């Protein structure tokens, strides 16, 4: 994989220039994408900045995020060839830092559940997950050192785990969603994919202009709550084993690990996530539904059909439930620093019929708290574990993820 930290180090040392770093990405895309299908479109003549902390960093942009120089097609024939006027706020920020938004990456239609044609670079007979399929696959295949995704249920953490890359879904609205196609405004969250935790920590601290988010290796030994999210049903044995390995590695590195069962308001809120998501999606995609129902992908079409029957009272009750759960979770984080849990129920499913299940991700998206997935080394398709911290404590989630990443490698 292309490491953002490594590229920046080589550029800073004069061993590589930004244009050369972009050419590395272009060559990797030319070599690998034909068999993977992660890329929707590419800027053939990118303007490469010599200045800025992200100079030389090629970025993959999920194709629901507006770009002024490339179409934004939402993974849907309804938006075929659609060229937005302006860059999304996050894309403008990347350019201001010197990065090159080089490619648009595949997405499930409107970031829904329906699969893309992208395959998993670790085993092409498997899904890379979704909805941020192309961003996870492009980083995993070494095409770009950084990619943007979005998560409404589990669309960042899950594909990252399936593809064996690091990713963060930061605290709600730490990254601006202006210019990102809305599915659910209370849930949609931008996230970052990178080769390792240090890469996404550097990227996030620069993009969010918060140096304190990148704690490096200096964080104190954490108190970790080990959480199976039993309300979401059991994971595969392999995922459980990976979680156990991560917990033992963390303990060996000095962390205190204790089992954690989430109080009732949290599973209650988890169960209501789909109500909030679908009631908002019905409004966010009202134009597409009214005028292009026949061109919506099958699962999304059915999801929006069903959403037409939801009423405001159900939505309000779901929002109150989420509010109660956020207060309980805040108190929980008085006793522990982070939660260690599953990134997905297991390895990437075979075939391209499904993008996998977001059931271990939904609660944390609804809570708006930062989530980081760490690849767990092993045989076969990748597995990941998920670190969750309190709202605004993205730096801690990254620091603990880094500690576990190192402990697993040791």
79 near a second copy, rule: CB under 8 A? yes
Q: Report the nearest approach of a second copy to the CB of residue 284 (Å).
A: 5
Contact call for residue 173 and a second copy (CB under 8 A): yes
Residue of 108, 118, 177, 373 that binds a second copy (CB under 8 A): 177
Collect all residues with Cβ–Cβ distance below 8 Å to 45 and sequence separation of at least 6: none
Active-site entry in 3, 76, 155, 343: 155
Tell me the C-alpha distance between 394 and 244, whole Å.
Answer: 23
> Shortest distance, CB of residue 181 to a second copy, whole angstroms?
9
- Show the binding pattern over residues 225-264: x = contacts a second copy (CB under 8 A), - = does not: ----------------------------------------
Residues with Cβ within 8 Å of 324's Cβ and at least 6 positions away in sequence, in order, are 265, 268, 269
Instruction: Please confirm, yes or no, whether 169 is among the known catalytic residues.
Output: no
If one asks whether residue 293 binds a second copy (CB under 8 A), the answer comes out as no
CB 270 within 8 A of CB 153: no
208 binds a second copy (CB under 8 A): yes
Angle between helical axes of 265-284 and 312-332 (0-180°, round to 10): 140
330 catalytic? Reply is no
82 is a contact residue toward a second copy (CB under 8 A) = yes
Strands 100-105 and 146-151: unpaired
Please tell me the count of residues contacting a second copy according to CB under 8 A. Answer: 36
Q: Which of 78, 54, 73 is nearest to 62 (CA)?
A: 73
Clarify whether 135 is annotated catalytic.
no
Residues 59, 99: contact at Cβ < 8 Å?
yes
Q: Are 306 and 281 in contact (CB under 8 A)?
A: no
Minimum CB separation from a second copy for residue 126, in Å? Answer: 34
Structure tokens at 63: 């194709």
182 part of the interface to a second copy, by CB under 8 A: yes
Contact assessment for residue 283 and residue 304, using Cβ atoms and an 8 Å cutoff = no
The one among 26, 33, 63, 87 contacting a second copy by CB under 8 A? 87
Residue 306 is a binding residue for a second copy (CB under 8 A): no
CA distance 156 to 370: 12
Name the residues that contact a second copy, by CB under 8 A: 68, 79, 82, 85-89, 91-93, 95-96, 173, 176-179, 182, 185-186, 208-210, 280, 283-284, 286-288, 290-291, 311-312, 316, 392
């Amino acid at each position: 994989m292309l490491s953002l930290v490594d590229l920046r180090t080589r550029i800073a040392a004069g061993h590589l220039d930004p244009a050369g770093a972009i050419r590395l990405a272009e060559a990797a895309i030319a070599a690998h994408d034909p068999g993977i299908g992660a890329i929707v479109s590419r800027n053939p003549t990118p303007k490469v900045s010599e200045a800025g902390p992200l100079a030389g960093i090629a970025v993959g942009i999920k194709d629901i995020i507006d770009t002024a120089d490339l179409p934004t097609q939402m993974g849907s024939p309804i938006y075929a060839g659609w060229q937005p006027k302006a860059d999304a706020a996050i894309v403008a920020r990347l350019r201001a830092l010197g990065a090159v938004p080089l490619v648009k990456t595949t997405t499930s239609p409107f970031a829904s559940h329906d699969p893309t044609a992208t395959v998993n670079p670790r085993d092409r007979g498997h899904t890379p997950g979704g909805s941020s399929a192309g961003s996870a696959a492009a980083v995993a295949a070494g095409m770009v050192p950084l990619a943007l995704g979005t998560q409404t249920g589990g669309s960042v953490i899950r594909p990252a785990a399936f593809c064996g890359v690091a990713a963060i879904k930061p605290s709600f609205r730490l990254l601006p969603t202006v210019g990102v196609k809305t599915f659910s405004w209370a849930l949609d969250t931008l996230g970052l994919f990178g080769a390792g935790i240090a890469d996404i920590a550097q990227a996030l601290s620069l993009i969010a202009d918060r140096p304190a988010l990148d704690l490096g290796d200096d964080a104190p030994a954490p108190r970790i709550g080990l959480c199976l999210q039993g309300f979401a049903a059991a994971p595969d044995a392999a995922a459980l084993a990976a979680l156990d390995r991560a917990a033992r590695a963390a303990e060996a590195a000095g962390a205190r690990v204790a089992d954690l069962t989430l109080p009732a308001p949290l599973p209650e809120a988890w169960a209501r996530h789909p109500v909030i998501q679908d009631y908002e999606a019905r409004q966010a995609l009202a134009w597409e539904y009214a005028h292009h129902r026949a061109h919506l992908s099958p699962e999304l079409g059915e999801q929006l059909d069903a959403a037409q029957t939801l009423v405001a009272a159900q939505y309000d009750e779901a929002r109150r439930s989420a509010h109660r759960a956020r207060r309980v979770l805040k108190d929980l984080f008085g006793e522990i620093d982070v939660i260690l849990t599953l990134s997905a129920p297991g390895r990437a499913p075979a075939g391209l019929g499904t993008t996998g299940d977001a059931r271990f991700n939904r609660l944390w998206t609804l809570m708006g708290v930062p989530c980081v997935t760490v690849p767990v080394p092993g045989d076969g398709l990748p597995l990941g574990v998920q670190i969750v911290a309190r709202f605004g404590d993205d730096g801690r989630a990254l620091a603990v993820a880094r500690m576990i990443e190192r402990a697993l490698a040791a």
